[in-house]
């Protein structure tokens, strides 16, 4: 099953728009695990086990693994997700952006080594930096469009000669000529709900990966209202608010409680179904 189909199926099965971001910081691990990078897999696997029936996707952030020489633990984690939650897609948050043979190797890393269903990418270098990922049939390429950080405006909100802003131009390309095989999605930050709505207007059916809910301050209800589209999946990512809901031995149970509350808050913001 391809990424978009798997995403839709998981969202329906779990009645969820929530994606749990797996950003393991050993300094914040509970109890005796605190500071122990050798426990990255154990920590993340416990979060997965506690939340996999509440989510539409998991999103491991590659830097949190690479910084601790935990690439092998990331491989084990993705295999664990595939085993305990075979219907839940894995989005590798890598934000790669390069061309030619280098892009081919990054695509191989994401889809062959780590067996991800989708990967986040920077579109700054143009379509030839995206195309190698699209050779993997059914895998997703989720492009940075309007990111949740305040500095994103430095480039993304700049107005082009055409009159549209750069992030709008990216959305048009992603929804149009770049998406011949239906593999592309977009990253749009929850901290900018008006821009979420604008991207949804330009790309009505593309999956939108929306980080920024929770610790970054994005409003769950405003996010859903801005991005909701019956035929356009929403993937609302929350990381720290779920992962570090408790520093005690109950960390996994607390993560489940936080994930359940976030999922329900997102669902409550959906418009009522048409009669």
Residue whose entry in the numeric block shows the structure tokens 């709900």? 193
DSSP-derived 3-state class of residue 190: coil
Pick from 118, 124, 230: nearest CA to 183: 118
Give the relative orientation of helices 193-202 and 166-175 as an angle to the nearest 10 degrees: 40
Residue whose entry in the numeric block shows the structure tokens 């592309």? 184
Tokens representing 232?
């356009």
Tokens representing 67?
């910084």
Is the CB of residue 218 less than 8 Å from the CB of residue 148? Answer: yes
How far apart are the C-alpha atoms of 211 and 207, rounded to whole Å? Answer: 13
How far apart are the C-alpha atoms of 43 and 245, rounded to whole Å? Answer: 13
The Cβ of residue 177 has, within 10 Å, a number of other Cβ atoms equal to 9
Is the CB of residue 115 less than 8 Å from the CB of residue 82? Answer: yes
Q: Is 95 a catalytic residue?
A: yes
Residue whose entry in the numeric block shows the structure tokens 């207007």? 201
Q: Which of 82, 95, 169, 172 is catalytic?
A: 95
Pick from 86, 97, 151, 154: nearest CA to 120: 97
Q: How many residues are given for the chain?
A: 275
Is the CB of residue 23 less than 8 Å from the CB of residue 240? Answer: yes
Which of the residues are catalytic? 95
């Amino acid at each position: 099953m391809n990424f978009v189909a798997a995403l839709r199926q998981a969202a329906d099965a779990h009645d969820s728009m929530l994606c749990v971001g797996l950003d393991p910081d050993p300094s914040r691990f509970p109890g005796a695990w605190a500071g122990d990078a050798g426990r990255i897999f154990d920590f993340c696997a416990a979060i997965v086990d506690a939340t996999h029936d509440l989510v539409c996707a998991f999103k491991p952030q590659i830097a949190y693994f690479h910084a601790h020489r935990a690439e092998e633990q990331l491989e084990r984690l993705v295999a664990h997700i595939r085993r305990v939650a075979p219907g839940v897609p894995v989005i590798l948050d890598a934000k790669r952006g390069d061309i030619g043979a280098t892009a081919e190797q990054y695509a191989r890393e994401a889809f062959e080594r780590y067996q991800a269903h989708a990967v986040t990418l920077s579109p700054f270098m143009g379509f030839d930096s995206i195309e190698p990922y699209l050779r993997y049939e059914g895998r997703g390429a989720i492009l940075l469009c309007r990111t949740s950080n305040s500095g994103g405006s430095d480039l993304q909100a700049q107005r082009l000669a055409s009159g549209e802003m750069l992030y709008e131009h990216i959305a048009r390309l992603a929804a149009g000529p770049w998406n011949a095989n239906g593999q592309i999605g977009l990253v749009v930050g929850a901290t900018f709900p008006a821009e979420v709505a604008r991207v949804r207007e330009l790309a009505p059916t593309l999956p939108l990966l929306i980080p920024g809910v929770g610790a970054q301050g994005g409003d769950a209800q405003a996010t859903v209202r801005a991005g909701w589209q019956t035929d356009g999946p929403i993937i609302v990512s929350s990381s720290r608010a779920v992962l570090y809901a408790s520093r005690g031995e109950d960390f996994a149970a607390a993560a489940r409680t936080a994930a359940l509350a976030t999922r329900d808050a997102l669902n409550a913001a959906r418009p009522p179904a048409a009669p």
